[in-house]
């Protein structure tokens, strides 16, 4: 994570098929919904839209694309929370630095649209208002 001149933070995240990786963390890519009851052990837990999720335990099934479910978004939110949380930051504007193999670039461009960008913006705003759990 790097703080840039205008106060924003750049966080690099690689959402791999087996592991999620940031500059300071490596975690299994499994995401499991726990339900609406607060878990006893909050480590690696994420609260989103009224549900608790355990992120970083086990591995997710390999899929055709990583954006067909909310799991990739939840892994990304967890990665942001890990990086910001380790620095004691509870509110920040974040710029994500992510990569994609060149051979998939054209296919990915057809998946990204204004709705996806708006949903991601809303998620980051919600993350800034609700401190990460765990």
pLDDT tens digits for 42-99?
Answer: 888 889 999 999 988 887 777 666 666 788 889 999 999 999 999 999 889 999 888 7
Q: Which two tokens stand for residue 124?
A: 């980051």
Model confidence, pTM: 0.70
Please report, rounded to a whole number, the percentage of residues in the chain having pLDDT higher than 90: 31
Closest C-alpha to 52, from 65, 63, 39, 41 = 39
Q: Is residue 134, in this structure, part of any structural domain at all?
A: no
Nearest to 20 by CA among 5, 38, 12: 12
Full strand arrangement of the beta sheet holding 26-28: 14-15, 19-21, 26-28
Whether residue 49 is contained in a domain is answered as yes
Within a domain: 120: yes
Domain span at residue 27 reads: 2-129
Residue 103 belongs to a domain: yes
Across the strands, what pairs with 95? 10
- Percent of the chain past pLDDT 70, that is, above it, reads 69
């Amino acid at each position: 994570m790097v703080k840039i001149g205008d106060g924003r933070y750049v966080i690099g995240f690689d959402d791999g098929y087996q592991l999620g990786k940031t500059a300071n963390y490596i975690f299994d890519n499994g995401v499991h919904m726990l339900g609406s009851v607060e878990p006893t052990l909050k480590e690696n837990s994420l609260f989103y839209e009224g549900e608790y999720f355990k992120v970083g335990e086990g591995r997710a099934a390999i899929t055709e694309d990583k954006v067909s479910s909310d799991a990739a978004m939840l892994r990304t939110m967890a990665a942001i929370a890990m990086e910001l949380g380790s620095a004691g930051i509870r509110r920040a504007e974040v710029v994500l630095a992510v990569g994609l193999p060149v051979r998939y670039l054209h296919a990915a461009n057809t998946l990204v649209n204004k709705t996806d960008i708006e949903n991601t913006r809303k998620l980051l705003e919600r993350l800034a208002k609700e401190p990460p759990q765990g």
